[in-house]
């Protein structure tokens, strides 16, 4: 099998890498993180103009990519540069979910997303759900021609910037059932929607969202009533590939920074990279990194295949990338010494991004258990 990028993906990678190298340095990112918005509207618009968002959608959806390897290419580059803008939340978790089950009227939002004019956020996690994606206590009740939402959503990333939230709510069944979950497209200005926003450790903003008697027309549902689990699960599969690719890109940067430091930092009159013990540690990092890359390729290549095989490869990739990411982050910091912990140095942010990726939609232990469960099926 040929794992080389197609000509179009190579062009996308080169264009995005060149732009981020020129425009997204450490000082720029730190200024963005400390801003009130937690993102740069200017950089968001420029990347949209370059076609980065469009690459995350299929041609039928108005984009020009959308396959697993397109997503992997984009998010690896975003991870390399430590980009904090909400591509995952607006394009993958928001736009791709609308593209999958939205009505023609709802799908009009996708054009705005691709152009960079609109932001979206998925409000799915709840205060007690942890990594259990089927645990939904927020309720949606039909009243005449309307539906009414009540509940709380936790750590809704990009909620403050979004014009619409995609809310998962239970229409029937027990709190942990996959059946009975509905998806609802909620304009953030709807009465009864309140948010408490805050900055996140590795950049970007999130919010705790309360839905108190939020009344909407029944046409606000995304897809059929109570049938939201499958499209939600399919969209999260895309998100897992994006997260694994982002972590892979961040690990590439961390190892490159470490290798450069070992070649320039001198002790006893020679670069510390000439010491055999440190060479062995660096070699271990590079070997683990290549294994993680292979796992990401497997996950990206199986996105459109059988659901069990897809999820098995995703679970394996997320587990391996999580374990490798922790190793790379810890070893990079230790081999750098104290400088690695300063905010002005690139590695400080990159290491945080690697570690925090491990806690979104399941950590290493969660995905190991899921891999075992799927292997036995």
- The string of pLDDT tens digits covering residues 295-325 is 999 999 999 889 999 999 999 999 999 999 9
Domain that holds residue 327: 230-376
- For the entire predicted model, the pTM comes to 0.95
Q: What integer pLDDT is reported at residue 1 of this predicted model? A: 55
pLDDT tens digits for 181-211? 999 999 999 999 999 999 998 889 999 999 9
Task: Look at residues 225, 254, 274 and tell me which one is the last residue of a structural domain.
Answer: 225
The CATH number that applies at residue 326 is: 1.20.140.10
- What gap in Å lies between CA 36 and CA 43, rounded to an integer? 15
Residue 347 and residue 256 in one domain: yes
Among left, alpha and beta (phi > 0; psi -120 to 50; other), residue 164 is: beta
Better pLDDT: 274 or 353: 353
Start-end of H helices in the chain: 7-23, 26-34, 41-49, 68-81, 87, 97-101, 104-115, 229-264, 276-301, 307-336, 346-357, 364-376
Task: Look at residues 225, 256, 277 and tell me which one is the last residue of a structural domain.
Answer: 225
How many domains does the chain contain in total?
Answer: 3
What mean pLDDT value characterizes the chain? 93
Residue 256 and residue 152 in one domain: no
**In this structure, how many other beta carbons lie within 10 angstroms of the beta carbon of residue 182?**
27
Residue 221 and residue 204 in one domain: yes
Task: Look at residues 156, 190, 225 and tell me which one is the last residue of a structural domain.
Answer: 225
Stretch 210-223: mean pLDDT:
96
- What gap in Å lies between CA 81 and CA 336, rounded to an integer? 19
* Percent of the chain at pLDDT exceeding 70: 99
Q: What integer pLDDT is reported at residue 345 of this predicted model? A: 85
pLDDT tens digits for 267-293? 888 887 778 888 999 999 999 999 999
Stretch 242-270: mean pLDDT:
91
- What gap in Å lies between CA 156 and CA 134, rounded to an integer? 16
């Amino acid at each position: 099998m040929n794992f080389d990028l197609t000509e179009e993906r190579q062009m996308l990678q080169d264009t995005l890498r060149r732009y981020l190298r020129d425009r997204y340095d450490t000082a720029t990112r730190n200024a963005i993180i400390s801003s009130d918005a937690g993102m740069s509207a200017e950089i968001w618009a420029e990347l949209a103009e370059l076609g980065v968002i469009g690459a995350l959608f299929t041609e039928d959806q108005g984009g020009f990519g959308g396959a697993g390897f397109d997503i992997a290419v984009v998010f690896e580059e975003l991870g390399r540069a430590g980009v904090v803008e909400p591509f995952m939340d607006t394009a993958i978790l928001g736009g791709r979910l609308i593209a999958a089950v939205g009505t023609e009227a709802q799908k009009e939002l996708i054009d705005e997303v691709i152009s960079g004019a609109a932001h979206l956020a998925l409000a799915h996690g709840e205060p007690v759900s942890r990594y259990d994606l089927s645990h939904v206590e927020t309720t949606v009740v039909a009243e005449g021609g309307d539906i009414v939402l009540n509940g709380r959503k936790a750590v809704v990333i990009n909620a403050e910037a979004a014009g619409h939230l995609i809310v998962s709510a239970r229409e029937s069944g027990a709190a942990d059932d996959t059946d009975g979950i509905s998806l609802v497209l909620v304009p953030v200005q709807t009465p009864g929607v309140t948010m408490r926003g805050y900055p996140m450790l590795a950049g970007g903003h999130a919010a705790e969202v309360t839905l108190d008697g939020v009344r909407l027309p029944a046409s606000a549902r995304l897809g059929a009533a109570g049938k939201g689990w499958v499209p939600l699960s399919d969209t999260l599969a895309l998100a897992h590939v994006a997260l694994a690719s982002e972590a892979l890109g961040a690990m590439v940067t961390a190892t490159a920074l470490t290798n450069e430091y070992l070649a320039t930092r001198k002790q006893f009159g020679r670069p510390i990279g000439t010491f055999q013990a440190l060479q062995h540690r660096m070699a271990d990092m590079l070997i683990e990194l290549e294994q993680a890359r292979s796992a990401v390729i497997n996950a990206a290549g199986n996105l459109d295949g059988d659901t069990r095989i897809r999820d098995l490869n995703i679970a394996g990739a997320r587990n391996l990338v999580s374990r490798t990411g922790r190793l790379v982050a810890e070893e990079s910091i230790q081999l750098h010494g104290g400088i690695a912990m300063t905010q002005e140095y690139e590695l400080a942010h990159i290491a945080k991004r690697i570690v925090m990726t491990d806690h979104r939609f399941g950590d290493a232990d969660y995905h190991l258990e899921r891999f075992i469960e799927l292997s036995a099926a």
